[in-house]
Amino acid sequence: MQTSSLTALKELALQCARSAGKLSLARMKEPFTVEYKTSASDLVTAVDKEVEKHVVDMILQRYPDHGILGEESTFTGDPGKYETLWVIDPIDGTTNFVHQQINFSVSIAVYHKGEGLIGVVYDPSRDEIFHAVKGEGAYLNDQPLRLERQVHLEEALLCTSVFWNKRAEQIGIDQIVKKLAGKVRGMRLLGSAALELAYVAAGRLDGYVSLSLNAWDFGAGKIIVEEAGGRVTTMRGTPLPFDQKSSVMACNPAFYEELQHYLSMNENM
Ligand code: 2AM
Ligand code: CA
């Protein structure tokens, strides 16, 4: 893809993320309906749907021939059929949006022929935008992000979402992560995968491990972490798939092998 096209895509992705974030903040101040998706701990609001529609409209107005894979399925086409695919989550961390009114994000990625080109994660409550273009580095607002500090697993601050994942208990990965919590400096649970990945890129967290994530959860964060010099794979060490739920591990490169070895001790993953 030409540099000029890439720049235009990046500008639109940044614009969509900011606009979506602004809309979420505005709607947060008004009453909104909350529904259970699969259970009482899996929420979706009318705002998630409205914000996704807003982003889809912005994208299609500019690029009517692009496909969109979004969590709320606002785009009706078959995402597999498009050369250029936008992968979006209008509100990543809906539980936080409802309960905390912070710690949620907008996640927007652009993939071309299966390759991740652009990743944007915007935290509207703090007005922080994490972004990356493949081959051009990662940024938090205007500050470049570079994971240059060598971190040992023992001194790492890790983050996870496995403790509210039922499958984690079934396959025993929750116990492995629990043991890991005793080995590292600290463990955090933020509840927005996109934001957690962005924080790994920014060095606020040294690693993130999760189960059952969808492409809209990790699509943008993966590009940002990799452009900052970090590594992102499944817990088995394989590339992340786009067409099914997947485990995700993202971390400072210094302890990737050690962490991967630890996590892959579970045969069922
Ligand atoms: P969502 O808000 O877009 O659904 C990993 O933690 C991901 O799981 C989050 O990014 C969040 O994405 C989703 N999730 C679903 N249920 C959750 C819960 N009870 N607490 C936190 N995250 C949850
Ligand atoms: Ca969501």
State yes or no: pLDDT of 267 exceeds 60: no
Whether residue 268 lies inside any domain: the answer is no
Q: For the chain, how many structural domains are there in total?
A: 2
Q: What is the pTM of this model?
A: 0.96
Which position has the higher pLDDT, 48 or 73?
A: 48
Ligand number nearest CA of 196 is 1
Q: Are residues 163 and 202 both part of a single domain? A: yes
CA pair distance 76, 168, nearest whole angstrom: 32
State yes or no: pLDDT of 16 exceeds 60: yes
Ligand number nearest CA of 95 is 1
Q: Are residues 186 and 101 both part of a single domain? A: no
Q: Compute the average pLDDT of residues 215-230.
A: 98
Eight-class DSSP state of 253: G
Residue 233 is predicted with a pLDDT of: 97
Residue 266 is predicted with a pLDDT of: 62
CATH of the domain at 179: 3.40.190.80
CA pair distance 197, 89, nearest whole angstrom: 14
Q: Are residues 64 and 163 both part of a single domain? A: no
The response to whether residue 93 sits with its C-beta less than 6 Å from ligand 1 reads yes
CA distances from 107 to 44, 151, 216 (A): 16, 27, 7
Q: Compute the average pLDDT of residues 191-200.
A: 98
Q: Which of 123, 144, 165 is the last residue of a domain?
A: 144
State yes or no: pLDDT of 268 exceeds 80: no
Q: Taking each helix axis as running N to C, give the angle between helix 173-183 and helix 256-263, from 0 to 180 degrees, rounded to the nearest 10.
A: 140
Q: Which of 116, 144, 172 is the last residue of a domain?
A: 144
User: Which structural domain, as residue segments, surrounds residue 259?
Assistant: 153-263
Name the closest-CA residue to atom 15, ligand 1. Answer: 42
CATH of the domain at 88: 3.30.540.10
State yes or no: pLDDT of 269 exceeds 70: no
Q: How many Å lie between the centroid of ligand 2 and the Cα of residue 248?
A: 17
Beta bridge mates, 159? 188, 208
pLDDT per residue over 82-123, tens digit each?
999 999 999 999 999 999 999 999 999 999 999 999 999 999
CA pair distance 202, 210, nearest whole angstrom: 18
Q: Are residues 139 and 157 both part of a single domain? A: no
